[in-house]
């Protein structure tokens, strides 16, 4: 069940190059996580390194998630990874709809919705990524795009299943570019997402759901981001690959 805690998550993408590199990084992050860390923490790791990363974080309390799970359980889908496969390792979360999946691998809103429904239907958690492109941002369409992606991505999800959904607002132009969205602007979009969730589900869901910000978050920007009332954590790419940087992000100060 949700509480008021926040969730700082790292998305390693296809960056760690070996079991040992992933394990060293996972162990370093886990060793800096403690009862006094002001956030829950998760690492989203490449599929070949899920088992070794789980072993590396051990019983630290750091969670490990998958970067993508196809919506089918089994069959002739060469190269895909199912929710069942990662669940059998002890992985309970997956990213869905990261902009790199949407742009590079054709995960459109319908595919995103199938993945979300599959995950929550199996009792897994879905971290649904939404966000506008640079062109959409320049046209002032951030809130409109996020509304559409929430409506389509979460279609058919029940209010009960929303307990297993986290949203990450990631303006595409801010991902991996060093351009962080101005915190006040991000706050506005987060508040708008919350009101969309209130109309789709209930005010209770809107109040409880965690909405992370993602896009070039660093130790220098995390505190101001976390100070925003509707920002409940960060989804961190580049800075999650450097243990000391991610440690500072986990230990944000407000």
Both tokens assigned to 140: 């002032």
Q: How far is the CB of 47 from ligand PEP (least distance, A)?
A: 16
Cβ-based nearer residue to ligand PEP, 205 or 250? 250
By CB under 6 A, is residue 238 in contact with ligand PEP?
yes
CA distance 244 to 250: 10
Structure tokens at 58: 């051990």
Angle at 206 between CA 177 and CA 82, to 5 degrees: 65
Residue selected from 237, 243, 245, 252 as contacting ligand PEP according to rule CB under 6 A: 237
Quick check: 65 and 95 in contact, CB under 8 A? Answer: yes
Q: What residues pair up with 212 in beta bridges, in sequence order?
A: 168
- Beta strand 233-236 with 210-214 is parallel
- 138 assigned to active site: no
The least CB distance from residue 180 to ligand PEP, in Å, is 8
The footprint of ligand PEP on residues 170-199 (CB under 6 A) is 170, 175-176
Look at residues 111, 131, 132, 197 and name the one whose alpha carbon lies nearest to residue 161: 197
Does residue 132 belong to the site contacting ligand PEP (CB under 6 A)? no
Q: Which stretch, 23-31, 107-115, 192-200, 212-220, contacts ligand PEP (CB under 6 A)?
A: 212-220
Joined together, the tokens standing for residue 84 give 């069942």
Identify the active-site residue in 98, 100, 132, 190.
98
CB of 99 to ligand PEP, least distance (A): 8
Asked if 246 and 10 touch (Cβ cutoff 8 Å), the reply is yes
Q: Is residue 215 part of the contact set for ligand PEP (CB under 6 A)?
A: yes
Comparing CA positions, the residue from 120, 115, 113 lying closest to residue 163 is 120
Is 160 a residue of the active site? no
Q: For ligand PEP, how many residues bind (rule: CB under 6 A)? A: 13
Q: Does 232 bind ligand PEP (CB under 6 A)?
A: no
Q: List interacting residues with ligand PEP (CB under 6 A).
A: 11, 170, 175-176, 214-217, 235-239
Cite the active site residues.
Answer: 98, 170
């Amino acid at each position: 069940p949700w509480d008021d805690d926040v969730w700082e998550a790292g998305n390693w993408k296809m960056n760690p190059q070996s079991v040992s590199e992933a394990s060293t990084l996972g162990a370093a992050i886990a060793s800096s996580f403690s009862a006094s860390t002001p956030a829950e923490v998760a690492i989203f790791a490449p599929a070949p390194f899920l088992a070794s990363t789980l072993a590396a974080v051990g019983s630290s309390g750091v969670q490990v998630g998958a970067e993508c799970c196809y919506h089918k359980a089994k069959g002739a889908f060469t190269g895909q990874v199912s929710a069942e496969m990662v669940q059998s390792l002890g992985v309970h979360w997956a990213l869905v709809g990261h902009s790199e999946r949407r742009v590079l691998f054709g995960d459109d809103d319908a595919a995103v919705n199938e993945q979300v429904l599959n995950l929550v239907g199996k009792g897994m958690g879905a971290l649904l990524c939404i966000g506008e492109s640079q062109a959409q941002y320049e046209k002032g369409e951030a809130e409109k795009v996020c509304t559409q992606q929430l409506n389509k991505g979460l279609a058919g999800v029940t209010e009960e299943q929303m307990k297993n959904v986290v949203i990450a607002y990631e303006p595409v132009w801010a991902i991996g570019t060093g351009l962080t969205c101005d915190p006040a602007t991000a706050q506005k979009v987060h508040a708008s997402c919350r009101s969309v969730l209130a109309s789709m589900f209930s005010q209770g869901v809107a109040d409880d759901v965690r909405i992370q910000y993602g896009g070039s978050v660093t130790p220098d920007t995390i505190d101001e981001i976390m100070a925003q009332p509707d920002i409940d954590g960060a989804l961190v790419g580049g800075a999650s690959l450097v243990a000391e940087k991610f440690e500072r992000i986990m230990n944000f100060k407000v």
